[in-house]
Amino acid sequence: MENELVDLVMEDTREKMARALEHVKAEFASVRTGRASSALIENLLVDYYGTETPLKQLANFSVPEPRLLVVSPFDKGAMAAIEKAIGAADLGLNPSNDGHVIRLTFPTLTEERRKSFVKIVRTKAEEGKVAIRGIRRHARQELENLEKGEGLPKDEIERLEKVLDKMTQDDVAKVDELLAHKEQELLEV
């Protein structure tokens, strides 16, 4: 019985850490690099007939040129709402509408803007690391509760804590790796 509970705690921790890592990746994707990318706007909420709907459910995206993103709405009636949502998102993009598609031209980034994006990315990376460490802390508490409630041996708890520490170090290293890659991408002219 106790091994099943331990396995459950460890598996739950692995899943939560993986989700935290995916969240960091998604956060990084939402930071502009000067290249057109649908990740920047696909999760924007659009007021579609009174319902807040993610843009990716209302349109297709294409990148015909490195600095141009084309949004093709499935319903032409949603075009004004999509334009309004993009404008309200304060991304520094001006949507242009030709009646069929919305074009977003990504301006080149200034050095100052690039550095501010690097600061934002570093903050998001630190938030991701804090989340991963919080997951580890929660797992340790659950293991301590198992030790008290189920009589799990102290040496088994210590072994599992080492496994937790290794998982945490690996995921924090992955966040650092993602951060380094994103910083390089942002500072690339």
Could you tell me the CATH number of the domain that includes residue 57?
Answer: 3.30.1360.40
Terminal-residue alpha carbon distance, the chain: 58
CA-to-CA distance for 162 and 159, rounded, in angstroms? Answer: 5
Residue numbers of the domain that contains 67: 38-105
Residue 95, C-beta contacts closer than 8 angstroms, at least 6 positions apart: 71, 82, 83, 86, 87, 102, 103, 104
pLDDT band at 34 (very low <50, low <70, confident <90, very high): low
In the chain, pLDDT over 90 holds for what percent of residues?
Answer: 36
pLDDT band at 180 (very low <50, low <70, confident <90, very high): very high
**Shared-domain flag, residues 14 and 58:** no
Which of 72, 105, 138 is the C-terminal boundary of a domain? 105
CA-to-CA distance for 43 and 56, rounded, in angstroms? Answer: 6
Smallest CA-to-CA distance from 34 within 3, 80, 68 is with 68
What is the residue whose two structure tokens read 């966040």?
175
**Shared-domain flag, residues 42 and 25:** no
- What are the structure tokens assigned to 182, written together? 């994103």
Q: What is the pLDDT of residue 42?
A: 82
Q: What is the mean pLDDT of residues 37-66?
A: 86
Is the confidence at residue 22, as pLDDT, over 60? yes
| Whether this model's pTM surpasses 0.75 | no
pLDDT tens for 114-170 read: 888 888 899 999 999 999 999 999 999 998 888 888 777 888 888 999 999 999 999
pLDDT band at 28 (very low <50, low <70, confident <90, very high): confident
Which of 54, 72, 105 is the C-terminal boundary of a domain? 105
Q: What is the pLDDT of residue 2?
A: 60
As for how many domains the chain has, the answer is 2
Q: What is the pLDDT of residue 189?
A: 62
How many C-beta atoms lie closer than 10 Å to residue 92's C-beta?
10
Q: What is the pLDDT of residue 70?
A: 92
Which of 105, 131, 146 is the C-terminal boundary of a domain? 105
